[in-house]
DNA sequence: CAAACAATGCAAATTTTCTGCGTTGACGTC
DNA sequence: GACGTCAACGCAGAAAATTTGCATTGTTTG
């Protein structure tokens, strides 16, 4: 595995919250020269430690006011069926997050929809027409208490 | 609500995937001048349509190889208890995502841990010592099939 | 129809990032 | 302990990107 020193971790910690900081600003928090920060970030990106750099948009602002969590059980847990379902997840834009899990369900999905009608149309298309699916259980999100993919990095 | 035209949507669509594109590059995909792109993005950030700009780091690379999904049920669904639990979620760094939901569970959490031992220590601290919690059910993530907060924006 | 306004593009000014280069410090070998 | 190697550093100049000023265009409103 790639070795990360204290400075790398501090940089990651910072850009996980805000990746538009200038190298000058980063330099202050990390106690390094701007150039060094920049070179390290470049390396972290090349090595894949930083997987992506993205903007987070407000669901409300773009008319995606509803979020659902769906627990999905497949008919059989056979490799080809699982793989086929994974592909369906990746190809479906309404699915924001998809986890393949052990336990009560086989998959857990986070779905966005414009409204209930939109969600219902989605379920019909995505779930009912898929014969690999044994059943699914929907939970409506009332509050997104916390959301992010920021990992705690003990410095 | 804020009005978004076709160009705004195209810009959001782009920066949701990659916010390090130069205005020049954006200009090409959006059919606008670099300056206009820049100004629109600035506005979108000021208005809160773009909530944040962050780097996504690889869980593996930082030694957070385990992800759990936890369904939590509270003893009682009373406002003060719910609020207290929300605060706990926000304050706990191991909780990456927290949703307050209707249905079988009250909360759904996505937790990261270095390893099983780390996770067990977390559950002891976070769940067993909290008397508001009636029970919780853990599901181990085997594969993060898809992850992101990118919304589909019909252009 | 005219005034007001918002958005655009271009060009200049500013800021930020990138690159070349010489230096430093850690590590391994002789 | 001396020497060579190598990776990371900081500085300074070069290159690139962003921001700002300004004139223009198109749309809405009275």
B54 within a domain of the structure (yes/no):
no
Residue with tokens 């790398």: A8
Q: Do B17 and A54 lie within an 8 Å CB cutoff?
A: yes
Is the C-beta atom of A32 closer than 7 angstroms to strand C? no
A74 and A13, same domain (yes or no): no
Backbone CA torsion sign across B73, B75, B79, B82: negative
Specify whether A30 is located in the same domain as A87.
no
Q: Are residues B67 and B40 in the same domain?
A: no
A150–B20 CB contact, under 8 Å? no
> Do B71 and B23 belong together in one domain?
no
Chain A residues in contact with B138 by the CB 8 A cut-off are 103
For B54, the enclosing helix (H) or strand (E) is strand B50-57
Taking a C-beta distance cutoff of 8 angstroms, is the pair B143, A86 a contact? yes
DSSP B135: E
Reply yes or no on whether the pLDDT at A154 is more than 80.
no
Q: Is B105 exposed, middle or buried (0-12, 13-18, 19+ CB in 10 A)?
A: buried
* B66 and B41 belong to one structural domain: no
Q: Select from A42, A56, A85 the residue whose CB has the most chain B CBs within 10 Å, as the one to mutate to test that interface.
A: A56
Task: Write out chain A residues lying below 8 Å of B107, CB-based.
Answer: 145
With CA atoms as reference, report the closest residue to B14 among B1, B3, B25, B2.
B25
A39: pLDDT strictly greater than 80: yes
| A-chain residues near B149 (CB < 8 A) | 54, 56-57, 96, 147
- B-interface mutation test, from A69, A114, A145, A148, most B Cβ less than 10 A away: A145
Does B30 share its domain with B101? no
- Percent of chain A predicted with pLDDT > 90: 90
Query: Per the CB < 8 Å rule, is B55 touching A12?
Result: yes
Closest among B151, B46, B8 to A63, alpha carbons compared: B151
Q: How far is CA A118 from CA A65, A112, B5, B9, B34, in A?
A: 11, 9, 21, 19, 35
Assess whether pLDDT exceeds 70 at residue B155: no
Residue B5 pLDDT > 70: yes
**Residue A155 has what pLDDT?**
63
Closest chain A residue to B103, measured at CA? A139
B12 and B34 in one domain? yes
Strand C neighbours among A 135-154, CB < 7 A: none
Averaged pLDDT of chain A: 94
In whole angstroms, what is the distance from residue B94 CA to residue B113 CA? 7
A39 and A70 within one domain: no
Q: How far is the CA of A52 from the C1' of D24 (A)?
A: 39
Do the Cβ atoms of B96 and A151 come within 8 Å? yes
Kindly state whether residue A53 falls inside one of the protein's structural domains. no
Task: Report the largest interatomic distance among the alpha carbons of chain A, rounded to a whole angstrom.
Answer: 58
Q: How far apart are CA A26 and CA A14, in angstroms?
A: 8
Per-residue pLDDT reduced to its tens digit, B54-74: 999 999 889 888 999 999 999
Looking at the fold, whether A43 and A65 belong to one and the same domain comes out as no
- Does the residue B145 lie in any domain? no
- Tens digits of residue pLDDT in A95-133: 999 999 999 999 999 999 999 999 999 999 999 999 999
Residue numbers of the domain that contains A101: 60-140
Residue A64 CB contacts under 8 Å (≥ 6 apart), including other chains: A112, A113, A114, B151, B152
Q: Are B53 and B19 in contact (CB under 8 A)?
A: yes
Question: Which residues in chain B have Cβ-Cβ distances shorter than 8 Å to A152?
Answer: 64, 93-94, 112
Q: Look at A146 and B89 and tell me if their CB atoms are within 8 Å.
A: yes
Indicate whether A154 belongs to any domain.
no
Question: Cβ of B10: how many Cβ atoms within 10 Å?
Answer: 20
B63: left (phi over 0), alpha (psi -120 to 50) or beta: left
Same-domain pairing of B66 and B134 = yes
The Cα A17–Cα A26 span in angstroms is: 12
Q: Are residues A109 and A67 in the same domain?
A: yes
* Protein-to-nucleotide distance from the CA of A16 to the C1' of C17, whole angstroms: 20
Whether the predicted pLDDT of B118 surpasses 90: yes
B56 to A60: CB separation less than 8 angstroms, yes or no: no
- Beta-ladder partners of A136: A72
Percent of chain B with pLDDT over 70: 99
The number of domains in chain B is 2
CA-CA distance, A108 to A71, in Å (whole number)? 5
Q: Residue at minimal CA–C1' distance from D9? A: A36
Domain identity same for B104 and B127:
yes
Return the CA Rg of chain B: 20
Long-range contacts of B23-27 (CB under 8 A, 24+ apart): none
Give A10's DSSP letter: H
Residue of A nearest to B104 (CA): A139
């Amino acid at each position: 595995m790639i070795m990360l020193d204290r400075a790398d971790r501090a940089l990651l910690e910072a850009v996980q919250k805000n990746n538009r900081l200038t190298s000058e600003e980063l330099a202050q928090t990390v106690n390094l020269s701007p150039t060094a920060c920049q070179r390290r970030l470049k390396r972290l990106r090349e090595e894949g430690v930083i997987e992506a750099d993205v903007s987070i948009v407000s669901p409300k602002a773009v008319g995606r006011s509803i979020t659902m969590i769906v627990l999905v059980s497949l008919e059989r847990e056979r490799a080809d069926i699982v793989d086929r379902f994974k592909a369906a997840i990746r190809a479906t834009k309404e699915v924001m997050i998809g986890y393949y899990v052990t336990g009560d369900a086989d998959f857990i999905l986070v779905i966005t929809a414009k409204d209930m009608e939109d969600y219902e149309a989605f379920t019909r298309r995505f779930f009912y027409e898929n014969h690999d699916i044994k059943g699914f259980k929907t939970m409506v999100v009332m509050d997104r208490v916390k959301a992010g993919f920021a990992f705690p990095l003990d410095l």
